[in-house]
């Protein structure tokens, strides 16, 4: 197979790209939503072509090849032996987040999340008529974030049924280690909470000293209360194919989740399965070529901040292609609009439950484009 040119940035205008359409009539470089600008892996493109050539696009149920691709992936990357009937297939994990809130307890119960966090973690409890309990992550001396253990103990209530974990964490880039996750599991056991572990970013580890700890590797007691969310869509940039899944080993939790899905979640589309199978069975060479580009981009961001923008703070990012930047030192009245007016579109940290002044910079694109984005920020703050 040919290699992907990660310096090439395809024109995505007029493709309905959520990322690009937002600014289609403005001179604004979109560096917001978590969607990368790279061409997909050639193996994935070829398998999708073959699926098109088949010519019949009927309702598609989880078929053996898709199930085996996931089960093999779980064994290989998550050291987890799962069964096909423990998988719940979904068009996306945003639906999953809303469904898991509806499955946990009753209306009026509570769901706990850390902030800042990917915005649907904050809206899903509310949309599901659950109370939302938040606990802020705290920054350690080395610039990485962790759980506020005392804060979480103080915040949890008897009506809390579910904790939703983001690991690796969007937006602070943390890969929680085994000790932290063991503590979290003890906490969830003590308060009898389900743990929904969203691990969608787990194959995007940038710090080579760090390894992802899948929640299911904590053993049977984790398996008994966990719902794990996964998808090939972040790593291989396939979110438009709408295919994700939950792994739910406990049959009672699985039944509650499936009940919440009834009448709402039907079949995943046929291209979603084809993309996932290709990604999990043939995508690794592409991922291994793509990760150094993201690492280079992160180095460029760190260097630029330290040399040119020392007042902009960023945590030590261990994973994801989303840089979490703190511009509070500049006291901008409307930080997103300020940067849009100066040519760059960033995600608003307030949507993630952070104070005004935090912005998220998506570096899932060519290094040249990251440089362009950084130049725009430097000029805007000059
Ligand atoms: C932590 C996390 N979960 C879920 C999603 C969205 O998943 P999906 O596209 O499958 O709805 C994202 C997208 O950025 C994410 O960062």
Q: What is the CATH number of the domain that holds 292?
A: 3.90.1150.10
State in Å, rounded, how far the first CA of the chain is from the last one: 45
At which of 282, 314, 339 does a domain end?
A: 282
Give 76 Cα–ligand 1 centroid separation in angstroms: 22
Question: Do 115 and 351 touch, CB atoms closer than 8 A?
Answer: no
Is 7 inside any structural domain? Answer: no
Domain carrying residue 157: 58-282
Residue 167, ligand 1, Cβ within 6 A? no
Q: What is d(CA 250, CA 10) in angstroms, rounded to the nearest whole number?
A: 43
Identify the H or E element spanning 245. Answer: strand 244-247
* Cβ neighbours around 367 below 10 Å, total: 16
User: Are residue 259 and residue 295 in the same domain, yes or no?
Assistant: no
Are 36 and 162 contained in the same domain? no
| Ligand 1 center–CA 233 separation, angstroms | 8
Spatial neighbors of 104 by CB under 8 A, at least 6 apart, are: 111, 130, 161, 162, 194, 256
36 inside domain: yes
In a mutational test of the pocket of ligand 1, which residue from 17, 95, 239, 265 has the highest number of ligand atoms less than 8 Å from its CB?
A: 239
pLDDT digits (tens, 9 = 90+) for 298-321: 999 999 999 999 999 999 999 999
**Cβ of 347 below 6 Å from ligand 1:** no
DSSP-derived secondary structure for 269-285: PHHHHHHHHHHHHH-HH
Based on the fold, state whether residues 139 and 254 are members of the same structural domain: yes
* Cα–ligand 1 centroid distance for 93 (angstroms): 6
- Per-residue pLDDT band for 367 (boundaries 50, 70, 90) equals very high
Burial of 102 (0-12, 13-18, 19+ CB in 10 A): buried
- Pocket perturbation via mutation, ligand 1, pick of 118, 199, 362, 364 by most ligand atoms within 8 A of CB: 118
Q: How far apart are CA 360 and CA 173, in angstroms?
A: 11
Report the DSSP beta bridge partners of residue 371: none
Residue whose entry in the numeric block shows the structure tokens 């073959």: 50
Give me the pLDDT at residue 1, please. 64
Ligand 1 in reach of 242 Cβ (< 6 A):
no
pLDDT score recorded for residue 231: 98
pLDDT tens sequence across 212-260: 999 999 999 999 999 999 999 999 999 999 999 999 999 999 999 999 9
Contact between 321 and 294 under an 8 Å Cβ cutoff? The reply is yes
Q: If you measure from the C-alpha of residue 14 to the centroid of ligand 1, how many angstroms do you get, rounded to a whole number?
A: 23
As a whole number of angstroms, the distance between CA 345 and CA 377 comes to 10
Residue 27 lies in a domain: yes
> Where do we find the tokens 């050639």?
42
Question: Does any domain span residue 12?
Answer: no
Give domain status of residue 4, yes or no: no
Rounded CA-CA distance 286/305 in Å is: 29
Question: Residue 158 — very low, low, confident or very high, per pLDDT cuts 50/70/90?
Answer: very high
Same domain, 347 and 206: no
Percent of the chain residues past pLDDT 70, beyond the cut: 99
CATH number of the domain that 157 lies in?
3.40.640.10
> Per the structure block, which two tokens stand in for 320?
């994801």
SS3 (DSSP) at 164: strand
Q: Give the residue from 282, 313, 330 where a domain finishes.
A: 282
Percent of the chain with pLDDT over 90: 98
Ligand 1 binding pocket includes 170 (Cβ within 6 Å):
yes
Q: What is the dihedral of CA 208, 4, 17, 128, to 10 degrees?
A: -40
44 touches 255 (CB < 8 A): no
Task: Please determine, for residue 377, whether its predicted confidence score (pLDDT) is greater than 70.
Answer: yes
Residue that the structure tokens 């659950």 belong to: 130
Q: Quick check: CB of 165 below 6 Å from ligand 1? A: no
Residues 244 and 293 placed together within one structural domain of the fold: no
CB of 135 within 8 A of CB of 121?
Answer: no
Average pLDDT over residues 32-45: 96
Model-level pTM? Answer: 0.97
Q: Within this chain, do residues 275 and 301 fall inside the same structural domain, yes or no?
A: no
For the chain, give me the number of helices (H) and strands (E)?
A: 13, 14
Cβ(195)–Cβ(163) under 8 Å?
Answer: yes
* 11 lies in some domain: no
What average pLDDT is seen over the chain? Answer: 97
207 and 138 part of one domain: yes
**Is 233 touching ligand 1 by the criterion CB < 6 Å?**
yes
How many whole angstroms separate alpha carbon 117 and alpha carbon 170? 6
84 and 150 in a single domain? The answer is: yes
In terms of domains, do 204 and 350 share one?
no
The per-residue pLDDT for range 159-202, each reduced to its tens digit, is 999 999 999 999 999 999 999 999 999 999 999 999 999 999 99
Into how many domains does the chain fold?
2
pLDDT recorded at residue 65: 98
Question: What's residue 3's pLDDT?
Answer: 84
Does 13 map to a domain? no
For 85-115, give the DSSP string: GGEEEES-HHHHHHHHHHHSS-TT-EEEEEE
Cα torsion 270, 273, 277, 280 to 10°: value is 150
Atom of ligand 1 nearest to the CA of 95: 11
Flag whether 82 is in a domain: yes
Please list, in sequence order, all residues whose beta carbon lies within 8 angstroms of the beta carbon of residue 309, skipping any fewer than 6 positions away. 377, 378, 381
């Amino acid at each position: 197979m040919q290699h992907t040119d990660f310096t090439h940035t395809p024109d995505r205008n007029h493709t309905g790209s959520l990322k690009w359409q937002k600014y289609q009539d403005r001179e604004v470089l979109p560096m917001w939503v978590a969607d990368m600008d790279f061409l997909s892996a050639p193996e994935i493109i070829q398998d999708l072509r073959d699926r098109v050539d088949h010519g019949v696009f009927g309702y598609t149920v989880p078929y053996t090849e898709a199930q085996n691709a996931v089960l093999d992936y779980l064994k290989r990357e998550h050291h987890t032996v799962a069964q096909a009937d423990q998988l719940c297939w979904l068009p996306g994990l945003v639906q999953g987040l809303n469904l898991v809130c509806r499955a946990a307890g009753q209306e009026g119960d509570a769901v706990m999340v850390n902030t800042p966090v990917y915005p649907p973690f904050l809206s899903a409890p509310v949309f599901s008529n659950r109370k939302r309990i938040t606990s802020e992550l705290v920054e350690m001396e080395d610039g990485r974030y962790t759980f506020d253990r005392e804060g979480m103990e103080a915040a949890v209530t008897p009506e809390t049924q579910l904790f939703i974990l983001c690991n690796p964490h969007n937006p602070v880039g943390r890969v929680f280690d085994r000790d932290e996750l063991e503590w979290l599991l003890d906490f969830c056991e003590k308060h009898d909470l389900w743990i929904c572990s969203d691990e969608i970013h787990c194959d995007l580890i940038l710090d080579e000293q760090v390894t992802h700890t899948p929640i299911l590797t904590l053993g049977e007691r984790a398996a008994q209360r966990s719902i794990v969310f996964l998808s090939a869509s972040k790593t291989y940039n396939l979110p438009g194919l709408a295919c994700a899944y939950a792994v739910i080993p406990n049959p009672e939790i699985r039944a509650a989740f499936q009940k919440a899905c009834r009448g709402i979640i039907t079949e995943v589309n046929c291209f979603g399965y084809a993309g996932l199978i290709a990604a999990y069975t043939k995508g690794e060479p592409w991922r291994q070529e793509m990760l150094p580009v993201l690492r280079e981009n992160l180095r460029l961001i760190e260097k630029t901040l330290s040399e040119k923008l020392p007042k902009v703070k960023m945590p030590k990012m261990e994973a994801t292609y989303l840089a979490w930047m703190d511009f509070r030192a500049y006291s901008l009245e409307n930080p997103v609009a300020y940067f849009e007016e100066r040519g760059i579109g960033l995600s608003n940290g307030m949507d993630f439950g952070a104070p005004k002044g935090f912005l998220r910079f998506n570096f899932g694109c060519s290094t040249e484009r990251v440089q362009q984005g950084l130049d725009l920020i430097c000029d805007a703050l000059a």
